[in-house]
A and B are shown apart, each in its own frame.
Chain A
């Protein structure tokens, strides 16, 4: 069959020459390969002390964004839940009352908004589906470990952003955001 990629290699069982059968040259060659690494630089990131930066498009923990006035953008349309391949998102919609006008941008809002972090596969389809730019996957936090399965169902208390960042500039500012995170992670990225 013709190789479309052009990288196809045919395996040949060629007889080994006497030099190859001795194995010693190959062994010594291998020894020097490892010796080169012995004196080479370590590629370890010493994790708890030093943290590696996430990449720009890393899909971490979800955050429910607010707009510039501080009102929640989510209108509980349910498109995120619909697009979710893992059935991780549920919500209950409610109508905004007069007192709550500053809290929610649209007249309809999500009274309950839950994401099951055990189901979520962090694909980012909810982010794509959202017409109101309300849900984003942050690029700096990961879902934290927990002892209780029930605690993996994240409600609005954990999802709504605490510090507001304008949409589209920094994907971040979620509940677990720590301002010193970036200062600590100032090691140069090696990847």
Chain B
């Protein structure tokens, strides 16, 4: 199990780096899909089957297809890339630096203890469903309303 974990973690980090490093945006998306696969593997190791498969269906299967879809439409290459103004470059460096700071602050206090993976049925569909529709009813419904508003917004924009 531990070897699997290290392999998946290595894969996830490597492919994430490749997402950023790749020159070709289509390659970036393909690496991102691999990243999602690695994360799906992590979910399976955590016995969260439902989450794993939903991650696969929704992120790798649907959202990334849409990403790929859009990027294939845009004819992105080096010549077409617009020159970014200095202010924007500065802003992006600042934002990324701040994010990095937050991450460092978060990781700083983590102790590398021997954490055993808890084997429970919490990741199964029935337990998850019960939890979602009892304890987390309100956030769940609010999320769905959020999605609904996004969908209506998309329809409105499309109809204009």
Direct contact between the two chains A and B in their complex (CB within 8 A): no
The residues of A with any CB-CB pair to B shorter than 8 Å are none
The residues of B with any CB-CB pair to A shorter than 8 Å are none
